[in-house]
Amino acid sequence: MKRILLMACILAVLMLTACAPTPAATLETYDDMIVVGFSQVGAESDWRNANTRSMQEALSEQNGYRLIIDDAQQKQERQITAIRNFIHQGVDYIVLAPTTEKGWDTVLAEAKAAKVPVIIVDRMIEVEDDSLFTCWIGSDFRKEGDEAVGWLAQHFGEKPLRIVHLQGNLGSSAQLGRTQGLDAGLAQHPAWELVYRDTGDFTQAKGQELVEALLTQGIQFDVIYSENDNMAYGAIDALKNAGLQPGEDVTIISFDASHRALEMVMAGEISFDVECNPLHGPRVQAIIEKLEAGGKPPKLTYVEESTFDAATITREIMDGRGY
């Protein structure tokens, strides 16, 4: 039924725009395809771009999918509009990479009423009724934060540390989990001092801006705990412009472990990087294929992730990781 509605919408659009291709030919290409509407956060980071590429490669036409991607430019209200459009278009599945944890109940209830299954990827959502989404696959962000704090404790023990904290998008589970990890570490290590905390929105520009301002004010610090690689890139540029050597004058902790960041780990500029794996495309494809076969995927799936520092990173590891 949904595909008929989708075909009708496309026919209407084609008739209105008097497109050159024969509507029937265009419609047939969707007839035996699985149509997926993907509401993506944005294009704010290497991680996000790798995540989008992974979805495009897995949910490709040659694999039998018609993938419609909406870029929300990090705004939840644009994701809500996109989800409503997907429902109206009659897609077979909705994949949501949520900007923040809260505020999804109403629009997901509309998807449920329209019998469109919703798969959540990456960050988590918080809803009153978990039947509003079919399943979630993503990372354990608190564990990621604990890994970073464990490395700091192992390398510095009870040495006094002045820590600058660059947070991601406030309210996103990536930010919440990684911040909880640092807060637990601060409580456990009285010699550690949080000298500054603000959000850099996971972007390189904002990361650089925040650290430049600290340096201009003469704030002294030993560690930058950056909740993603792109903010770490910006922080590193700011340190270098001020004549400081990242990884030596200032310890840099980062998250995502994208290829560019691992080059910096190998160069000794990023001291420790916690992987946050973005390659959800094949995982979502496997979930959809299970659902299409009448199966029931697990409600929650945490992906395996690792960590990297100068002692563990190798060229072979880097070249074999896919992002």
Binding site for ligand GZL (CB under 6 A): 44-45, 47-48, 122-123, 139, 174, 202, 228, 255-256, 276
For the bound state, the minimum distance from the C-beta of residue 168 to ligand GZL, rounded and expressed in Å, comes to 6
- By C-beta, is 44 or 92 nearer to ligand GZL? 44
- By C-beta, is 133 or 189 nearer to ligand GZL? 133
The structure tokens listed for 228 are 């993603």
For the bound state, the minimum distance from the C-beta of residue 165 to ligand GZL, rounded and expressed in Å, comes to 15
- By C-beta, is 146 or 256 nearer to ligand GZL? 256
| CA distance linking residue 122 with residue 140, whole number of Å | 9
- By C-beta, is 92 or 273 nearer to ligand GZL? 273
- By C-beta, is 27 or 45 nearer to ligand GZL? 45
For the bound state, the minimum distance from the C-beta of residue 138 to ligand GZL, rounded and expressed in Å, comes to 6
For the bound state, the minimum distance from the C-beta of residue 196 to ligand GZL, rounded and expressed in Å, comes to 20
For the bound state, the minimum distance from the C-beta of residue 45 to ligand GZL, rounded and expressed in Å, comes to 3
Enumerate long-range contacts of 77-85, CB under 8 Å, 24 or more apart: 79/39, 79/41, 80/106, 80/107, 82/37, 82/39, 83/37, 83/39, 83/107, 83/108, 83/110, 83/111, 83/118, 84/110, 85/37
Helix axes 259-266, 46-58, angle to 10 degrees: 130
- By C-beta, is 86 or 202 nearer to ligand GZL? 202
For the bound state, the minimum distance from the C-beta of residue 220 to ligand GZL, rounded and expressed in Å, comes to 28
- By C-beta, is 91 or 257 nearer to ligand GZL? 257
Q: Contact 105/130 with Cβ under 8 angstroms? A: no
Q: What is the number of residues in the chain?
A: 323
Place of tokens 């076969």: 293
Closest CA to 271 of 254, 293, 285, 287: 254
For the bound state, the minimum distance from the C-beta of residue 298 to ligand GZL, rounded and expressed in Å, comes to 19
| CA distance linking residue 272 with residue 247, whole number of Å | 9
Alpha carbon 200 to its chain's center: 15
| CA distance linking residue 278 with residue 137, whole number of Å | 11
